[in-house]
Structure 1
Amino acid sequence: MAPQLPPPSPPLPLRPTTFEDTVAVHDADLAQVLFEHRLLSAVYSKRPPDLNSKKRKLHEMRKQVPDVDALARKRKLDLEGTAETSNVEPARARALEKRSTALDHLLDDGALDRPSMAMRNYKAIVVMPLRMTHEEARLAALEGIIHLRRASSDSSPSLTNGATASTVWKAEARPTPSAIPRSLVFTFPQNSYEQRSALKRTTKAGNDENVEVMANGGGGPGHDAAAKLRACFDECQRSAFTHTKAIQRIVALQETAPEATVEAQFKKLLNHIMRVGKREPAVERLVAFVGLCCSARSDNADNANIGNALLEKLLDHLLDALQAKDKSARMRAAQLVSNILGVIPRDGDFLQDATWDKLESRMLGRLDDKVANVRTQAVRALERLQDTEACANGKDPICSKLTTMMESDSSAEVRKASVRAVVINKASLKAILRRTRDTKDDVRAASYERIGTHVHIKMLSISHRVALLNEGLNDRSQVVRLACERMFCEKWLALAGGNPLSLLKYLDVEASLETVLLALRVLFDAAFDKSRAQEASEELRRAADWDLSGPNAKLVLTPEGAVYLRAKCEALLRNGRDDDVEALIPDLTSFGEVMAVCQSQVVESAATKAAEDADRLASARFVLEQLLETARGLDASHDVAGQHALTQFITKMLDTRRGPNLGVVQASLKLLRSFVGDHMEDQFVRQGASIVFDCLEPLEASAVEPSSAGADAVSLAQLQAQLEAAVASEDYETAARLKRQVADLEQSPQAVEAWRMERALVIAVSVLQAIRRPAVIAELQGLMDRVILPNLQEREDDHLRHLALKGLALYCQLGASQARKHLPILKMFLTAEEETLDIRADALRGIFDLVMLWGLAAIADADAEEGATPSEAAAEDLMFMLLGYMDSDDHTLRLVAAEGFAKLAVVGRLVDVRVLQCLIVLYFHPTSSSDVRLRQCLAVCFPILAENTQSGRAAIEEMAIPLLETIVCPPPDSPLGEVPVESVLQYVVFLLSFSASTVQTAFAQALLVELLAAPTGPHIRVLSRALNNVKLDADCDVALLVKVANTLESNKSFTDGVAARQLDKFRARLADLLKASGGKSKQINSEDHAEDAATKSAHANSGAESHQGVSFEGDEEKANPSDELAVILARVKARASVHEDGAVDAEAAGASTSASQTKESKARRKLKRKSIFRAAMAVDDDDLEDEDDEDDFSVASDSE
C-alpha cells in the first residue's frame, strides 16, 4: 500500500518549479536555505572518500528515485492547467517518504549533534541532491532542507557573535575546495535541537506560518535588517550594475535598523567572503562592493559616511582576520583592507589615529607572510599608508620596505605590486630602473608603465633615458616593448609639448644615434601604419607630420632636425609613401645646397679651437653625416643633374682640411656608391681612387688654407702681433686661442702633409669597404702601393697603422692570391708583442676573415713537412697557430680566436674534431666564466652544428668519446682537472641527441667502459647519471648493453649506492626496450645461460681489484676476437691501465712537488703547465721543451 503524503500547505496552491520561485514563496525561510547550500557547495564541494554506512544508504535511496524527467514533465503539465494520467506521482511520493524517513532517523539518532557529523550528513542528504541535473529532484531536496536548517548553534561551522575570526579559523581547519562555484551565499546562526524538532513536527502538520517564524529564529526588525543585507550581498555578487542601488539601500537601512544588528550581520557576511581563496568573479564583485559601502555617505549628513563607528569596527575585524591560520582568510582580509583604503576619501577624519597605526603595523607584518598572495595584497594596502613627505626624505618605513621587496622578493607578483605602490623618491626610482631588467616580463612592463606615468622625464639623466629606450624597444617580450612605446610616444611626447624635436633634445642624439633612430621608427610606424591608425592619437599624428619647411627650415641644420628628417624619410619609404618623400625633398640639387650650408658651418667652426667652437664643429659634422645618409636613401636614378651636383660637392668637401671626419667620409663614399649599380662598380673604384690621388697631390692650392711660404709668413706675423696685444690687454682667453693658432701655423707644412695622408688613407679604406664584387684593378693596386703599405710602416702614429692594417685585410679579401701574398704581414702584426692590443686583434680578425672566404689551404704559405703536400702542411701550421690564441692570457685575443673558430665551424669552412674539442673545453673551463660574450657565442655555435649541419654532427660524434676519456682521467697538473665533468657530459649527451641511435649506443658503451675501468673512481656517480640521460630506442644494440651492464653489476668493486641505483635504473630501461623489441628478449634470455669464456673470466677476476680499477688478466686469450663483448673488455683493460698510470703519476707529482719547486726556474714551471687546448688534445710533454717553437704540436691518437 502506498504511503500517505503529508497534506499540502495552504499558501502553496502550485508547487514552484525553479529556485527563484522557491525563494519567492519562502522569502524568509528557503532564501536562507539556498544561501547556505551555495556556500557549503563552495567550501565542501569535494566529497570525502570514506563515507559512512548511513551516507551510503542514503546514496542508494537517492538512486532509487524513478524517472525524474517524466516527473518534471508531469509537473509542467499540472502548472499549465492540463491533466495527464501517469504513474510518476506515486513514485515521487515514495521518494519523498524515503527521504523523510531518513531525515527522521538522523534526527532521532542525534547524528546532527556533533559538528563533523552534522556537516557530513548535511552534505550527503542536502548538498548532493541540490546538485542533481533534474529540477524535480532539486525541488524535492529543498523540501528536506527545512528539516535540517536549524541545527544546534554549536554544530555550525560559521562564525558566531561571540567568536572572532582568528579563533574560529584556528579551531577548525577547512578542507581545500576542489572547485568554487560562480556564486556563494552565507550561513547564519541555527536554532537548537528542540526548535528543530518542533519545526519538523510543525512542518508535517502543515503550519507554514510557524515554519517561517521558527526557521528565522523569531521575527522583528533585526531579522528584517539581516535579510535585507543578505539580499543586497546576493544581488551584488551577481552583477556590478546593482552596486549603486544596493549601497543606497544599505545607507537607508543603517538609519532605521539597530547598529549592533547591522554590524554583526556585516561581519558574518565578510567572514563568508574570506573563506574563498580562489579568484572568482562573484567574490571579486563582493570585495569591490564592500569597499564602496565603506566610502558611501548618507544623504542626511553631508559630513558623515555610512558610520565611522561601523567602518572602524569592520577594519578591526579584518585586521584580526590578518592573524588567522587560514591563508585564504589572510589574503581576503588584506584585499578587503586594500579596497577600503583605496576608495575612502583622502580628506576628513574617517579613521582614528589608533586605527591608522594599527593598520600600518599589521600590514607591515603581513609583508613577511609566507604566502605570496597575502604579501601582494598587503603591498597594495600599504600604498595608501605611505607618508609622502617622509618618503621624500627617505624616512618612511613603508616606502623603504616596499623598495626592499621590489628587489628581493621571490614572487614576481609581489615585485610588480611593489613597483606600482611605492612612492617615487631617489632610492625607489633607482630600484624601479633596475626592475626594468627584471627576469619576468610583467615586472619589466610594470616598471616602464610606472616610469611613464609617475616619473617626469627631467628626473632621469640622459644616460637613463637612452638606456630605458634601448632596452625596452629591443626587449624580447612584446608586452615590454609596447609599454616602452607608450612611455615614449604618449607620456614623454606629451611632456615635450607634442614637439618631436624638443623630445629629441632630452636624448643625446649624437652619442646614441641607433637608439634615437629606433625610437623615431616606432613613433612613425605608429602614426603611418594603416593597421594601427586607430591607436594613433592626434598628438602623435601632429608629431609625425611636423613641418620642417618655411620658418622651421633652419631646424634641419640642428642634430635633432637632421635625425628627424632622416627617420621620417626612411619611414615614408618603408610605408610606400614616395610622393610624400618627394614633397619633403623635391630634388637632390636643392638638398645639396642644404649640405653646402652645413659644410660652411663645419669649416667656420673648425677655424678656431675654442671649447664652444669644438662642440659646434662636432654637431655640424654630425648634421652633415645625417644629411648624407638621408640622401643615400632617396631614389636618384632619374635625377642625373642632382647626382652630378652632389658628386662635385663631395669631391670638393673631401679635399678640405678642416672639414669631414671619418663618419662623414664613409657616408660620402656610400652615397657615391649608391649612384652606380653593381655592373658599374669599377667606375666607382676609379672615382674614389682619383679623389685619393687628388688629396695626395692637389693640382691647385686650396682656397681655405694658405699654401705658399709668403702667405704663411704674413699670417704668422699678424697672429704674433695680435697675441702681443691680447697679452698687454690681459685678455688671456684670446691670447690662448691665438697662441694655438700660431703653433699650428708654424707646423703647417708638416701638418698639411700629415692630414692629406690620413685623409687619403680614410678614403681608400672606405672605397675598399664599399666594394661588393672581388676584383683587382690597377687603381686598387695603386691605392695599395701608395697609401696602405707606406702607412703600415708608420711607427709614430698607431691610428694610421691601425687604419692601414684594416685596409690591408680588406684588400686581401679581393682575391686568394692577394691574401696568400700579404698573409705574412698580418701574421707579423699578430705575433708582434710590442704592437697595441687593438692592432693585434684586428690582425687576428683579418686572418679569420680570409680563412672564411678562401679556406686554409688557399692562403697558407708556410713550409711543408715531409710526407705532406705544401698546402696541407701549411694549413696545419696555420690552424695550430690560430688555435694557440684560444689559450692567450689576453681576454680580447682569446675571444676573437674562439669566435673565429666558431664561425668557421658554423659556415662549414673548418669543422675539425680537435678544434671542437678545444672549444667545448674552453666553454666549460672556469677561466671563461666571466667572459659572457664568449660563452654566448659558443652556446649558439654547438646546437647549430649538431642540428643543422651534417659535417658538424659527424665531428661532434667523433669528438664525444675521446673527450670523455680525456676529462675523466686528465693528466696530473692539467687544467682539465678544473673542468666540471658532469656539465660537460650533460652537454655532450644533449648534442648527441640529434644523432642516430648507433651513436647513442656507442657513447653508452663508452660510459660503461669508464665505469668498469674505474669502479671506485671519483666520477662514477657522474658517469652513471649521464648513462641514464643517453637516448636509447629499440634500434640500439640493447643485447650488448645488457651484457656490459650485467658485467658491471657483478663487479665487487662497484659498491657506491648512488651509482648502483642509477645502474639499476639503466638496466630497467634496457629491459623495457627488450620487451618492446619482441623476439630479441627471448634470444637474450637464452644467451644469458651460455656466456662465453671472456665474460666468465671477467666475473672470476672481478674480485682482484686494485685501488683505481680492476685487472682482467688472461681475458684476451680466452675471449673470441670476433665477439663484441671481448672487444669491449679489452677496451676496459686498456682504460684501467690508463687510470692506474694516472694515479701513480699523481702520487709521484705530489711527492716531488717541493723538490721540483726548488730546482726549476719560474720560466720552466710556467712552461710545464699545459695550456687548455694542448691538454684537451693530449699534447706530449716532449713538445714543451722548446720554448720558442709555439706551433709544434703532436696530437695523440684517439686509440690511446
Structure 2
Amino acid sequence: MAPTRPSVDYLTETLPSVVPPIFDQAQGTTANHRKNIVQLRKIQEKCAEITEKTPKGEKLVGERAFSTLFIDMVNRILPVKKGVGVADRIVKFVAGYVTYITEQDAEDDTMTSRFVAKLLKHLLAGMEAKDKNVRFRVTLLVASLINGLGEVDDDMYQLLRHCLIERSRDKEAVVRVQAAVGLAKLQSGEDEDDLEEGQEPLSQILLDLLRYDPAVEVRRAAVYNLPTAPETLPHLLARTRDVDPILRRTVFMGSLGAAHLPDARVLSIAQRENVVQNGLGDRDPTVRKAAAAMLGGWLDQADGDVLQLLGRFDVVSSNVAEDALISVLVTRPEVFDNIEMEDAWWASLTPEKAFLARVFTEYCVNNNKTNRLEEVMPVVTALAFKIQDEYNKLVGLSTDEDEDKVTEQAFIVGELLRVAINLDYADEIGRRKMFQLAREMISQGSLPETLIPRCMDVLSKITDGERDLIRLIVDVVTELRVGDGDVETQEPATPSRSTLGSPSRPTRAPAPSDDPEARKREALIDYRCLLICTSLLERVNSPWQDNTVFHGLLHDVIIPAVRNKEELALRDQGLICLGLCCMIDQNMATDTFVLFMQQMNAAGDDDELRGKVMKIVLDLLMVHDIATLVAKTMSVDAVPALLSHMLQQDVPEVLGVAVEGVAKLMLAGMVTDATVLQHLVLLYFHADTADNQPLRQCLSYFLPVYCYSSSENQLRMLEVFPLVFANFAQNEEEEDATPVAQIGLMMVDWLDPHKAVERPGAVVDLNVHLDLAITIFKLIMTEEGRDTRKTLTSYLGKLNLPDSAETDAWRPKAVLALINALKEKQPLSDAVSRNSLSKFQVSLLKLYPELEGYDEETFRAEGAEREDTKELWGFIDDVEEIEEAPEARTRRGSRAPSRSRRTASMSVDPTSDSDAAPVSRNRKPRPETVAEETEDDESEDVEGLLDSD
C-alpha cells in the first residue's frame, strides 16, 4: 500500500514535539549530529508533502511551518555570548545540516534552496542588531554556512558580501573575526574582473584587516585564512614583526611552512634573510622554534643539501646565513654528522663551501666537538697551501674582471683564514707554513683591505704574545714604507725562539717628494700601513711602555698622517690610529686630548670626520678616568658643557653617535649631571628626531634602564621633569609635536620607585612619586593653560605612593598643604580635573592617617626650623590668587616662535635649579628665553675651549 500522506494536523500537533528534542540532543554532544541531521531531513521531507490548494495555486504550508520552527530553534542561541559550548554545538549542527541537505538536493527552486534562502535572509537581517552577542552569533552562523550553501543567486551573494564587509568594521573584535573568516571563504570564489565599479576586492579588505586592525584576534583570523600568494606575501612577511607572539609563530609555522610555501625561492633573497633574521632573533622561544622548523622545511625542499640551502642566501654580504646554518646544525643533528670535506670537496671552492667550512669549524670549537673537527678538516699544512692557491687566484684576477668575482674570491680567502684561526698549531711544520703565508699576505700591497684583519688574527694566534706580534707588524710596516711593498720574508718565529728584532734595513731610497706620482704612491703605502696599524691596535692591550718598538711608527707614520691636510683619508685613518693608541695609554690620552678637541672643532662641514673624532673622544672618556684625562685641557666641571655641546649637532648621524656615547657614560655612572640627562630626554621626545632611528632606539633603551637602575637616577630624572614638561607644554601645538600627556606619562612610569632594581648595598627610595606629587602641584599652580593643568592633574592617578611607615611625616603634609592652596588660590576649572584631585586627596588621607590632625598653622610654624618647609610656604604665599572666572581662563595665547634650528628649542639652562619654581605667573621666565641665554653661554665656553691651543 502507498504511504499515507500526512495531514495538516501533523504541523500543529506532531511537528512541535519532534524537532525541539533533536536540537536538545545536538547541543549536548557532536557525536549524535549525523544521526539527528538525517532524522531532521526526513521530518523536513515529510513536512514538504503537506500543501494547501488555493485559488492562486498550491500553498507550501508544510515547508513554511518547518522553516519557521527551525528558525525559532536557531533564534534561541543568538543572544548567547561567546564561549558557551551548547550554543557552539548548535552552530555546528546547523552548518552540518545545511551542508547535508545541499549535497542531497543541489538543484534550483527546490525545497532545499527555498529553505536555505529563507534561513540566510533571516540571519543577514540580524547583522545590524544592537546586541553584540546577536551580531556575533549571526556572523558566526553565516561564516559557518558559506561552505555548505552551494550556488546562490547574484542578489543573495551581493547581500551576503555587503553584510560581511560591514561586520568587518564592527566595533567588537569577536564579530570582526567571524567576518574575516566569512570574507576569506567568499574570496575563493570571487573574480575581480566581475566586480562592479567602486567595489573593493575582498582580498584587499582582508589585507587591511591584517595590517591595520588593532585586535590581535582579527589579525590572526586574517593570517589563518589568507592564501600564500605573491600579492599577499609582503604583508604576511610584515607580520613576523607583529606584537603578538602567537601571530608571529603562526606566520612561520603556517604561511611560511612547507605546506603553504612549497619552495622558498618564491621569496627574494632579501625577503628570505629578513624572515630568518626576524624569526631566529625573536625574543619569544616558541617563535624561534617555529622559525627553526621553517628552516628545516627549507632544507627538505633542497633535498637535504646544506650547500643548496646556503645558495638561497647571500653568504658574502650578510650575517643571516650564519644564523640559519647554525640553527640547522642544532635542530638537525644528522646534518652535522653527515658533513664530510674530502680532498675533492676542497678542489673547487665556492663561497658557500668556504662559508660552510668556517661556520662548521666555529660551531665545533664553541661546542667542544674537537674530535669531529679533526675528522673533517685538513691538517694545517694542507689548509695553508689551499689558502695560498685561493689567494693566487685572487691576485690573478685583473681589475677589469667582474667586481662580483673579485668580491667572491676575497670572501673565500677570508673565510679560509677564519678557519685557520681555530685550528690546532701543535704541528710545527704547519705552524711555520701558516706563519710565512700570513706574513707574506699582509706584506702585499695587493691584499684587499678586508683581509688585513683576518691575516692579523692568524698572526696573533701563531705569534708568542703581543710583544712579538707588535715587533712583527713594525717590521712589516717599515718594509712596506722603505721598500715600496717589496719585502723579504724572514725566518718565522717559533714559540721558543723569536727571530723578530729590529726593522729591516732600507732596501730602497724614498721617492722624491716633488714628484706628484711618487707622493700619491707614498700616500697609498702610508694608508695601507695605517690600516695594518689599526688592525694591530684593535687586538693588543699591553701597556705602551712595554712596546717601545712601536714608538717609531707613531712619529713616522701616525703623527704625520694626522697633520696631513692634503690627503683627507690619510688624516682620518691617522686620527683613528692615534685614538687607539690613546685607548691603551692614559698618559698619551691626557697629552693628546686637546688635539682631538681641536680636530672636532676644525672638522667644519666634514660630518664624517666629526663623527669619527667624536667617537674617539667619547671612548676615551669611557675608558680613562675623566678627571685625569681632561686635566691638561679643561676643568672637570666643564665636561657636562662639552657633552651638551655634542648633543646639539645638526647632522642626524653625528647626533646619533653623540647620544650613544653620552648615554653609555651616564649609564655607567661616569657622568651624573642633570643637564646632560635633560638634553637626552628632550632629544628623545622632540619631533625633529623622529626619523633618526638609531638615536630613538638607543634612548628608548637607555632612559627606562637608567631610571630603574637606581633611586639616585630617578631623583635626577625628577629634577629635570618640570623643565622638560614646561618645554613641551609650551610647544605642544607645533606640527608633529609629541603630545605632552604621553611624555608626562612615560616620565611618571620611569619615576616609579617600585620598578627600581634592588642591588646589594643600595636602598630604594620609595618617596620618589611622593616628591613627584609635590612637583606636579607646583607646576599646576604656576601654569596658565587649562589643558596643561588638566594634563598635570591626570598624572595624580598614576602615582605609586609609599605606605605611611615608609615615608616621613613632612611629605604628606606638604602635599596636603599644596592641595589646599590650589583649591583656595588656583581652583581647577573643569570637572574632570576636580574629580581627579578629589580622588587623589581621598586616597592620600586614607593612606596617611597622621593627616587627620593636620593643622596648617602648626605646619607653617615648622618653617622656622626646617628650610624645606620655609621654602614650601614661601612658594605658596607667592602664588597669586585667581581673579577672573574659571570659564574666562584660556590657554596661553603667546607661543614660542618657531625655529629653524632644533638646538634653540631644546637647549636648557645648565645652571638652573629645578626646585626653584617660578613664584607667580607674572614673573615666570619664558622657557625659550632661558634656552637662548643658556645656549649662548654654553657655546661661548665650549667654543673657547675648542679654540684653545
For residues 1132-1152 of structure 1, give each alpha carbon's deviation from its aligned partner in whole angstroms, at most 9, with x where no partner exists.
Answer: 456879xxxxxxxxxxx9899
- Structure 1 residues 638 and 975, CA gap change in structure 2 (3 angstroms): farther
Q: Does 1:384 pair with 2:185?
A: yes
Counterpart for residue 380 of structure 2: 588
Aligned-partner Cα distance in 1 for 2:157–2:384:
70
- Is the 8 Å Cα contact of residues 602 and 617 (structure 1) preserved in structure 2? yes
Partner of 1:1051: 824
Q: Which residue in 2 is equivalent to 1:912?
A: 673
Within 5 Å, give how 1:702-741 maps onto structure 2.
Answer: none
Deviation at 1:805, TM superposition (A): 1.9
Q: Matches of 1:370 and 1:1026 in 2, distance apart?
A: 29
Corresponding letter in the other structure for 1:580: R
Q: Is the 8 A contact 1:295 1:305 kept in 2?
A: no
* TM superposition shift of 1:816: 0.8
Aligned length: 845
Structure 1 residue 664, shift from structure 2 partner: 1.6
Match of residue 759, structure 1, among 525, 528, 550? 528
Aligned ranges 1:375-454 → 2 under 5 Å: 375-386=176-187, 390=191, 397-423=201-227, 426-448=230-252, 449-452=254-257, 453-454=259-260
**Counterpart among 943, 955, 976 of residue 704 in structure 2:** 943
Aligned-pair distance for 1:924? 3.4
State the AA in 2 paired with 1:502: Q
**Considering only aligned residues, what root-mean-square deviation do their CA atoms show, in Å?**
4.7
2:306 counterpart of 1:500? yes
Equivalent residue number for residue 877 of structure 1:
638
Which consecutive residues of structure 1, in runs of 5 or more, have no partner in the other structure?
Answer: 1-188, 192-212, 529-540, 705-745, 864-872, 1096-1118, 1138-1148, 1194-1200
> Which residue among 629, 632, 651 is the counterpart of 2:439?
651
Q: Decide whether aligned partners of structure 1 residues 828 and 976 sit closer, same or farther in structure 2, where only a CA change above 3 A counts.
A: farther
Deviation at 1:815, TM superposition (A): 1.5
Q: Partner of 1:476 in structure 2?
A: 283
Q: Decide whether the 8 Å contact of 1:1014 with 1:1136 is kept in 2.
A: no
Specify the alignment match of 1:524 in structure 2: 329
Structure 2: which 5+ runs fail to align?
1-7, 50-61, 490-514, 754-763, 882-892, 913-929
Q: CA deviation at 1:638?
A: 3.1
C-alpha distance in 1 between matches for 2:106 and 2:782 = 88
Following the alignment from structure 2 to structure 1, what is the Cα–Cα distance between the partners of residues 446 and 193?
51
In structure 1, distance between residues paired with 2:320 and 2:81 = 46
Q: Using the alignment, how far apart are the partners of 2:145 and 2:934 within structure 1? A: 82
What is the rounded CA distance, in whole Å, between the counterparts of 1:957 and 1:372 in structure 2?
42
Q: CA deviation at 1:986?
A: 4.5
Change (3 A) 1:1068 1:363: closer
Letter in 1 for 2:458: L
The 3-state SS of whatever aligns with 1:887 is coil
Equivalent of 1:668 in 455, 463, 477: 455
Task: For 2:595 and 2:776, locate their aligned partners in 1 and report how far apart those are by CA, in whole Å.
Answer: 47
Counterpart-to-counterpart distance in 2, 1:1167 and 1:905: 23
CA-to-partner distance for each residue in 1:302-322, whole Å, 9 max, x for gaps? x97999752662354134213
- Decide which structure has the larger Cα Rg and report it: 1
**What corresponds to 1:565 in structure 2?**
357
Q: Indicate if the aligned counterparts of 1:685 and 1:780 stay in contact, CA closer than 8 A.
A: yes
- Local SS of the residue matching 1:1051: helix
Residue in structure 2 matched with residue 310 of structure 1 by the alignment: 112
Alpha-carbon shift at residue 604 of structure 1 (Å) = 1.7
Q: Which residue does the alignment assign to 1:683?
A: 468
Structure 1 CA distance for aligned equivalents of residues 144 and 189 of structure 2: 20
- Separation in structure 1 between the aligned mates of residue 484 and residue 933 of structure 2, nearest angstrom: 65
Match of 2:481 among 684, 691, 696: 696
Going from structure 1 to structure 2, the CA distance change for 1:372 and 1:628 (only over 3 Å counts) comes to same
Name the CA distance, whole Å, in 2 between partners of 1:899 and 1:1129: 42
Secondary structure of the equivalent of 1:996?
coil
* Contact 2:358 2:415 (C-alpha < 8 Å) held by counterparts: yes
Q: Is the CA contact 1:473–1:481 (under 8 Å) kept in the aligned structure 2?
A: yes
Match of 1:75 in 2: none
CA distance in 1, matches of 2:746, 2:638: 30
- Counterpart contact for 2:825–2:880, Cα < 8 Å: no
Corresponding letter in the other structure for 1:406:
L
SS in 2 for 1:657: coil
State the secondary structure of the residue aligned to 2:420: helix
Q: Can you list the C-alpha shifts for 1:234-286, whole angstroms capped at 9, x where unaligned?
A: 66655555556666767788888857577666555544555544234555455
Change beyond 3 A, Cα 1:1180–1:289: closer
2:400 paired residue among 609, 629, 634:
609
Cα distance in structure 1, aligned partners of 2:340 and 2:934: 77
Q: 8 Å contact 1:886–1:893 — kept in the other structure?
A: no
Residue 600 (structure 1) aligned to one of 351, 374, 392 = 392
Query: For structure 1, which segment, 969-978 or 1013-1022, has the greater mean C-alpha deviation from structure 2 after superposition?
Result: 969-978
Deviates more, 1:694-703 or 1:1126-1135: 694-703
- Distance of 1:375 and 1:803 partners within structure 2: 60
Q: Is the 8 A contact 1:312 1:351 kept in 2?
A: no
> Which of these residues, 557, 571, 595, is aligned with residue 801 of structure 1?
571
- Residue 778 (structure 1) aligned to one of 525, 548, 568: 548
| Offset, 1:997 | 4.8
CA contact (8 A) 1:525 1:571 kept: no
Q: Is the 8 A contact 1:390 1:396 kept in 2?
A: no
Q: Which residue in the other structure is 1:1172 paired with?
A: 907
TM-fit CA distance, 1:385: 2.8
Asked if 2 retains the 8 angstrom alpha-carbon contact of 1:293 and 1:306, the reply is no
Could you say what secondary structure the match of 1:1070 adopts?
Answer: helix
1:278 matched to 2:82? The reply is yes
Instruction: Note if contact 1:308-1:351 (Cα within 8 Å) is conserved in structure 2.
Output: no
Q: Secondary structure at the match of 1:883?
A: helix
User: How far apart are residue 852 of structure 1 and its match?
Assistant: 0.9
Q: Distance in 1 between matches of 2:34 and 2:905?
A: 82
CA contact (8 A) 1:524 1:544 kept: no
Say if 1:244 and 1:570 are closer, same or farther in 2 by CA, change over 3 A: farther
Q: 1:799 to 1:956 in 2, by over 3 A?
A: same
Between the aligned partners of 2:223 and 2:165, the Cα distance in structure 1 is 16
What is the CA-CA distance between 1:336 and the residue it aligns to? 3.9
Q: Which whole-Å deviations, capped at 9, do the CAs of 1:46-104 have from their partners, x for residues lacking one?
A: xxxxxxxxxxxxxxxxxxxxxxxxxxxxxxxxxxxxxxxxxxxxxxxxxxxxxxxxxxx
Q: 1:947 & 1:1185 partners in 2: Cα distance?
A: 33
- Look up the SS of the partner of 1:385 in the other structure: helix
Q: Which residue of 2 aligns with 1:896?
A: 657
Q: Is the 8 A contact 2:828 2:834 kept in 1?
A: yes
The structural deviation recorded for 1:926 is 3.7
Aligned twin of 2:270: 463
**Could you tell me which of 931, 950, 954 is aligned with 2:692?**
931
2:124 touches 2:138 (CA, 8 Å); kept in 1?
yes
What's the CA shift for 1:524?
1.4
- How far off its partner does 1:795 sit? 3.7
- Could you tell me which amino acid in structure 1 is paired with residue 413 of structure 2? L
Report whether the alignment pairs 1:1065 with 2:839: yes
CA contact 1:669–1:767 (8 Å) conserved in 2: yes
Amino acid at match of 1:422: L
8 Å Cα contact 1:1121/1:1127 also seen in 2: no
Equivalent in 314, 317, 342 of residue 549 of structure 1: 342
Deviation string, structure 1 residues 738-768 (Cα, Å, up to 9, x no partner): xxxxxxxx99967764543333222211111
Residue identity matched to 2:234:
K
Deviation of the 1:923 alpha carbon: 3.2
Return the alpha-carbon distance in structure 2 between the equivalents of residues 972 and 961 of structure 1.
19
- TM-score under structure 1 length normalisation: 0.62
Instruction: Give the alignment partner of residue 620 of structure 1, picking from 409, 413, 416.
Output: 409
Deviations 1:878-933 (A, max 9, x none): 44233212112222332222222211111122222332233333333443344343
* Rounded Cα–Cα distance in structure 2 between residues aligned with 1:809 and 1:924: 33
Instruction: Return the letter of the residue paired with 1:642.
Output: G
* 2:624 equivalent in structure 1: 854
Q: Normalising by structure 2, what TM-score? A: 0.77
Q: Which amino acid in 1 is paired with 2:115? A: K
